[in-house]
Chains A and B, each alone.
Chain A
């Protein structure tokens, strides 16, 4: 059994909560007491049906306002896979939540209402998933029951979305006609849509191939922590602990340590009390080197012929996440892999309209929830790759040094 993380975004009207409620119910991830609580609340509010949306609206303030304001994580499992859903609200004022939810997702699920077709909101969701390099996208055409399960409606949306998707980076796209309320094509294939010969949503989630999404070529090992037991039994033990960010590491491999540029060989790789033959993403291991080189937190172990270039001049897409806008000359703290430093905003090149993909070059600041292309200069060299190559070594966060709050998320285009 493996793990699939997927992100959904949507608003009250498009049936997203109903769909998630159904996935949870049908996989028995919802329990009797949770369902009873939701039934009681639905009745007390005078609804005609049990509002499954109440299952996913967690905080009291949200329930009172009837909206989802944050990222909620949900869990369910089938006999073949465990799923983690990052569930986020759909409106433009929650773009930062969508970006957060998409950052760890293997798959993105976008819903459209079959009666309305593609909306600005569904396009925006696809754009954000593509920016965050979520490798698999599912467009669920929902409420097919309300258009009499008409193939023409599905075909029209299919055509329109496929055309739009060519402008984005979506390696794998699946478009599934469903009815979350009636259960058509959610878990089992629908009898109402014999013209559709693809799989049900659940079947697709269970079988989508994610093994090849991770970079298994370019070895990247950001050192997190140096393990030195200083005990009699392990007197000379010195191991570099971290989570593999790319490639496959093996004992005997020649390695290069950045930023120092020293070289050595991997003497052994430890996973707790066992030595292992290879380590790959996202394993957390401890690497021992043959030579007594000076390696510390923030360094990167890679291969001599395949290393990221240390750089202090970074070109990145940034999603701004706080009320006070981002402006040129602003100074912030930056965290990239296990390195922390300071960054100066040199220039804001353009603001990307996430609805139209238009690049607005006249604005020289980024407001809350806006995404733009930014040039930064950092105090420490970042050992980075383009985000399109590696989502771990290509991403960073920006922190307000006064408040300590995370204010921006960055995806590196280029380093020079």
Chain B
């Protein structure tokens, strides 16, 4: 048997883990049809790990949903498949391509794939009748998220109304919804980027290898380094060159920039972040840069 701490005090990672596991179990007990939104990124992988622990030795009692932008990194899809196969959970893929074909969302050539995910996601939630959707959002990511609840209520249109948020006290979560509405659940609300990395390191779990330093053919656009790809043709004046880089977030590859980095292990990544002077979203997510309130606008519409 494993000895626990003698001073009856948990480390910050153990306390965060205990809180998140409590949230997973609460949702599984109170909601009819939960689903876990899985992007293959590091935050959603930590969610998978916590869900695995919450129900062990039983399997995770809900499916996972991935919104496929069509522009995802192949390395990320591979990691996703490894996780899904190891845990034996059902994977539902909601494709932005299909949503465009079926007229669920409109690709006007100006709207980013990240933005088109919103309609695709809401459609998938409605079609499958999910009543709760776990997301990997953290309150430290962005100002609009700092006030998000763990249980975030969404109306019939999947919208978030920041002024109508329910008070959330102690660890007593209110999961009441009406027909047609659903709840977004954020079990990682109190984790920071550093907590996530320390936890991945401690647990020794698989994440996509593009998070680690590697050689890649990239070009510069709007101050960001983007990966060379058939989905992202270079414009005049943009030149492709090979550099040593890594990704700090994974998303639509036409918008997700990488940073030059030699960090090839988790301790090296932690060191790099500890001295980094720019938040992860600010550095590498084109979709958050359009306006100061960009995130708040997308959240109102039903973004993750």
Contact = CB atoms under 8 A, between A and B. Distances in A.
A223 to B, nearest CB: 10
A278 interface: yes
Interface string A210-242: 110010100000001101111101100100011
A210 B83 CA distance: 38
Q: How large is the interface on B (under 10, 10 to 19, 20 to 34, 35 or more residues)?
A: 35 or more
Nearest to B276: A31
Interface stretch (B33-41, B72-80, B188-196, B257-265): B188-196
B205 interface: no
Contact of A248 (B8, B167, B176, B278): B8
Nearest to A248: B8
Contact of B190 (A84, A214, A406): A84
Interface in A1-45: 1-3, 28, 31-34, 37, 41
Interface stretch (A121-129, A157-165, A378-386, A390-398): A390-398
Nearest to B192: A75
Contact of B58 (A75, A228, A271, A283): A228
Given A2-B15, A321-B167, A404-B176, A276 B162 contact: no
B169 A103 contact: yes
Contact of B177 (A69, A74, A404): A404
B111 interface: no
A58 interface: yes
Nearest to A37: B292
A392 B147 CA distance: 23
B29 A75 contact: no
A33 B178 CA distance: 40
A72 B146 contact: yes
Contact of A32 (B58, B169, B277): B277
Interface in B221-236: none
Interface residues on A, range: 35 or more
Contacts of A71: 147
Contacts of B189: 73
B25 A276 contact: no
A99 B169 CA distance: 8
B292 to A, nearest CB: 6
B282 to A, nearest CB: 4
B201 to A, nearest CB: 14
A47 interface: no
B290 interface: no
Contacts of A274: 1-2
B139 A75 contact: yes
A170 B196 CA distance: 35
A224 B2 contact: no
B253 to A, nearest CB: 22
Contacts of A409: 167, 169
Interface string B52-93: 111111110000000000000000000000000000000000
Residue from B10, B21, B195 having most chain A Cβ neighbours under 10 A: B21
B19 A282 contact: yes
A410 B231 CA distance: 55
Interface string A186-216: 0000000000000000000000001100101
Interface string A259-285: 000000000001111111111101110
20 contacts: A58-B145, A59-B143, A59-B296, A61-B162, A73-B139, A73-B189, A75-B140, A82-B195, A225-B25, A227-B56, A234-B58, A241-B54, A248-B8, A274-B2, A275-B2, A277-B3, A280-B4, A282-B22, A284-B21, A399-B174
Given A60-B293, A333-B176, 8 more contacts: A2-B11, A3-B12, A31-B276, A70-B147, A270-B56, A286-B56, A392-B171, A406-B167
Interface of B: 1-4, 7-12, 14-19, 21-22, 25-26, 28-29, 52-59, 139-140, 143-147, 162-163, 165-172, 174, 176-178, 189-190, 192, 194-195, 274, 276-279, 282-283, 292-293, 296
Interface of A: 1-3, 28, 31-34, 37, 41, 56-61, 69-75, 77, 81-82, 84, 96-97, 99-100, 103-104, 210-211, 214, 216, 224-225, 227-231, 233-234, 237, 241-243, 248, 251, 270-280, 282-284, 286, 297, 321, 333, 335-336, 338, 391-392, 395-397, 399, 404-406, 409
